[in-house]
């Protein structure tokens, strides 16, 4: 068996993507989680790029003990010195130096001859060895480099002391078959390649970063550069979670390869990155997307309930997701609906009652993208024993500004009566929620609050999601509007109406002995 080294570049290449910048403190927090994940090498940044990057590399080097901490450096003494200085606090350090080797980069970017590039590459590796024995060399744009020159450079840097030689598909140009062949050709044409680990760094411009990385591994690569959630320049890098789980799930194909990644930490790591950067993972993202272990189609749900392996090739728990999710929507069948009713505690319903509820469920599912447990309970509440009237917003008004005390007034319809309430707060949202609390006569605590845009432009529709603690019970709610304050008010009321319904359900269950 051969171990595949996982080199994580979330904090360097990943952070270079627009919208993914992190503070020093956030980088340290992310690095500690990457350490928990079991990443072999953490590229903490580009120490010479800025004061902030230097501090980040330095702080990560102080905090991380189990993983190797790495800094990127151009093939310049000044860059390498900065990297060495930033990495000084740790014994487990690596300097990753690079220079481009493709004709287009050498001519138009570097304005250097191949001979000059070769000299620079060797000098950089030798100089980096003054700071650490663990030196990695990258031949930038290796995929578009002339083969014979690439072989020559790799041989020379290995002789100079590079322990890892990295083959980047810098612009995401390669096809898996080509990448696999390139690694095989390097093994066959670089005489001293047995003295170094071959690494790959694949970009996703054609959507092939993971496929190219796996093709390289199959052909002898011993290290893969990757990022959490596949973030990175342009279309991103190879997604760490996809590379790792492909190797774990397809042991029949990658017979002699394993990683030391603790896969149960994958989902947690993905979500931490989202929280730190304010980003979202697309729902259909492999491994960590909201839909990765979600099933809505009736046929799939029936098969999954009968035997998980019919429609899942890995367990949700293996990547840290609590369980697979049966998503109830317009494609769901009666079998899944009945199963969810039983899971919610409604085991004594008659076939007639279930049929009646299923008809209403289908009507609701045609209007909503997803039907939640609270929606099902509302159906039961409405159809089988009692109806209730939701509290709705009739009007709201906000006074705020740098010279004014934030004040909110809300007008609600509560059981046919208009109730008006006014309250002050720390800001427009806080004052609005306090006014709602006063109008409803409840004590609540805001546990979580998030905003995302559902469209673009100055009149963009925004969605607010909240988690509110009512009497020790956490309830979620959401609201949408072009006005973020209105969306916040709607989200709070949505949560309160769900809480109100739950209390009624609890009383009903006790009464009916469910």
pLDDT, one tens digit per residue, over 56-86 is 999 999 999 999 999 999 999 999 999 999 9
Determine contact, residues 119/152, Cβ cutoff 8 Å.
no
Mean pLDDT of 252-258: 96
| Domain coordinates in residue numbering, the chain | 2-277, 294-385, 392-512
Q: 451 forms bridges with which residues in the sheet?
A: 464
300 annotated binding-site participant: no
Query: pLDDT tens digits, residue range 35-63?
Result: 999 999 999 999 999 999 999 999 999 99
**pLDDT of 297 higher than 50:** no
Residue with tokens 């293996």: 318
58 annotated binding-site participant: no
pTM: 0.68
- Topology, domain 2-277: TIM Barrel (3.20.20)
Q: Residue 305: its pLDDT value, please? A: 44
Determine contact, residues 297/331, Cβ cutoff 8 Å.
yes
Nearest to 199 by CA among 127, 139, 262, 123: 139
Nearest to 492 by CA among 435, 454, 453, 452: 435
Give dist(CA 482, CA 260) in Å, integer: 47
Determine contact, residues 478/454, Cβ cutoff 8 Å.
no
**pLDDT of 91 higher than 90:** yes
Q: Residue 71: its pLDDT value, please? A: 98
Nearest to 258 by CA among 212, 285, 286, 224: 224
Q: Residue 505: its pLDDT value, please? A: 62
96 annotated binding-site participant: no
Other C-beta atoms closer than 10 Å to the C-beta of 507 total 11
Task: Assess if CATH 3.30.470.20 describes domain 392-512.
Answer: no
Domains 2-277 and 392-512 share a fold: no
User: Token pair for residue 508?
Assistant: 């009903």
Give dist(CA 407, CA 73) in Å, integer: 53
Q: Residue 237: its pLDDT value, please? A: 98
User: Token pair for residue 217?
Assistant: 């591994």
What does DSSP say about strands 294-295 and 325-326: parallel, antiparallel, or unpaired? parallel
**pLDDT of 108 higher than 90:** yes
pLDDT band of 296, cuts 50, 70, 90: very low
């Amino acid at each position: 068996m051969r171990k595949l080294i996982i080199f994580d570049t979330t904090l360097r290449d990943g952070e270079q993507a627009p919208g993914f910048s992190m503070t020093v403190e956030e980088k340290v927090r992310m690095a500690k989680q990457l350490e928990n994940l079991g990443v072999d090498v953490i590229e903490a940044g580009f120490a010479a790029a800025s004061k902030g990057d230097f501090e980040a590399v330095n702080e990560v080097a102080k905090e991380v003990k189990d993983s190797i901490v790495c800094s990127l450096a151009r093939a310049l003494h000044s860059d390498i010195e900065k990297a060495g200085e930033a990495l000084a606090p740790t014994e487990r350090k690596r300097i990753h130096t690079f220079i481009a080797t493709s004709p287009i980069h050498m001519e138009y970017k570097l304005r250097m001859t191949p001979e000059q590039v070769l000299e620079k590459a060797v000098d950089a590796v030798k100089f980096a060895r003054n700071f650490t024995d663990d030196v990695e060399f990258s031949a930038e744009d290796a995929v578009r480099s002339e083969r014979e020159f690439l072989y020559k450079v790799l041989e020379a840097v290995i002789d100079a002391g590079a322990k890892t030689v990295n083959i980047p598909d810098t612009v995401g140009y390669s096809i898996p078959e080509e990448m696999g062949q390139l690694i095989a050709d390097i093994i066959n044409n670089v005489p001293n390649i047995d003295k170094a680990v071959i690494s790959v760094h694949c970009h996703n411009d054609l959507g092939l970063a993971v496929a190219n990385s796996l093709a390289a591994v199959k052909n002898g690569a011993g290290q893969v550069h990757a990022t959490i959630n596949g973030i990175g320049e342009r279309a991103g890098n190879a997604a760490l979670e996809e590379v790792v789980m492909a190797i774990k799930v397809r042991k029949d194909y990658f017979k002699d390869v394993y990683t030391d990644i603790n896969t149960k930490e994958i989902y947690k790591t993905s979500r931490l990155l989202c929280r730190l950067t304010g980003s979202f993972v697309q729902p259909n993202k492999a491994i960590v997307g909201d839909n990765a272990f979600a099933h809505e189609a009736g046929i799939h749900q029936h098969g999954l309930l009968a035997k998980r392996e019919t429609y899942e090739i890995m367990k949700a728990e293996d990547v840290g997701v609590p369980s697979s999710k049966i998503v109830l929507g317009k494609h769901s069948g009666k079998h899944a609906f009945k199963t969810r009713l039983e899971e919610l505690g409604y085991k004594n319903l008659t076939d007639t009652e279930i049929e009646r509820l299923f008809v209403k469920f289908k009507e609701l599912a045609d209007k909503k993208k997803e039907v939640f447990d609270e929606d099902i309970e509302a159906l039961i509440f409405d159809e089988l024993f009692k109806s209730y009237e939701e509290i709705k917003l009739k009007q709201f008004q906000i006074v705020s500004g740098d010279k004014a005390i934030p004040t909110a007034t809300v007008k609600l319809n509560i059981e046919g009566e208009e109730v008006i309430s006014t309250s002050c707060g720390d800001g427009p949202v806080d004052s609005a929620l306090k006014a709602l609390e006063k109008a409803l006569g409840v004590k609540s605590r805001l546990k979580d609050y998030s905003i995302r845009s559902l469209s673009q432009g100055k009149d963009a529709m925004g969605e607010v999601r909240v988690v509110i603690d009512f009497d020790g019970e956490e309830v979620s709610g959401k609201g949408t509007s072009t006005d973020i304050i209105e969306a916040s008010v709607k989200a709070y009321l949505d949560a309160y109406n769900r809480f109100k319904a739950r209390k009624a359900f609890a009383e009903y269950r006790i009464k009916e002995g469910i």
